Amino acid sequence: MTDRSDQLIRRASVAVSAGLALMVVATAGYIVWPQIASKMGVRAAAAPAPYVAGQTVDVPAAWYADAPHTLILFARASCAACEKAQPFLKEIVGHMSGHGTVVMAHPAGADEADRQFASGIGVTNDQVMVATPGLRVRATPTLVLVDRQGRIVDAWEGAGKIDTRLAIRAAIDALPR
């Protein structure tokens, strides 16, 4: 063989060896880490449970007590799915008029981009709220429909699928005016 061939073979063998070593370390970490973590008392964070009809939502009564129904919307300007769903969210905010009100909740308060997003879908600044610690979402956008007592009527995660959109419209249409 030539020197060039020897160099290529050595480089390939080093690359393969490094790849295998990385796979061994990653696999060992994957297998061993749960045991180490449990001995240290570290537990993986549990995913928040979905909102279920009939439960009460942990928000200030001012969010829902003044309207027969309130749609709590979790969305962010920085969320690609929220941006894509923006025309639909605007439609839903308009669809809620006569049935109740809409509140947009943010975990740490809304920044200027979030306020512009809210304004773009028809949610005014006084309807943009800081989410309480009891609120939890698994995905954005999430919409939670509550009655005057704070009981969940229905909830939806995401707004991209047509069946979800139809279900949201139908739930709002079923509300008394």
Compute the distance between CA of residue 146 and CA of residue 163 in angstroms, rounded to an integer: 21
The SS3 assignment for 43 reads: coil
Report the first-to-last Cα separation within the chain, whole angstroms. 86
Q: Which helix (H) or strand (E) holds 172?
A: helix 162-173
Compute the distance between CA of residue 151 and CA of residue 144 in angstroms, rounded to an integer: 10
CATH superfamily of 61-173: Glutaredoxin (3.40.30.10)
| Tens of each residue's pLDDT in the chain, 177 residues | 678 888 878 887 888 887 777 777 667 666 766 666 666 666 655 556 677 788 887 777 778 888 899 999 988 888 899 999 999 999 999 989 888 999 998 766 678 888 899 999 999 988 888 877 666 777 889 899 999 888 889 989 887 788 888 889 999 999 887
Using DSSP bridges, classify how beta strands 101-106 and 142-147 pair: parallel, antiparallel or unpaired: unpaired
Q: Which of 72, 65, 81, 100 is nearest to 172 (CA)?
A: 100
* Model confidence, pTM: 0.69
Please answer whether residues 110 and 118 qualify as being in contact, where contact means their C-beta atoms are separated by less than 8 angstroms: yes
Q: Which two tokens mark 58? A: 């942990």
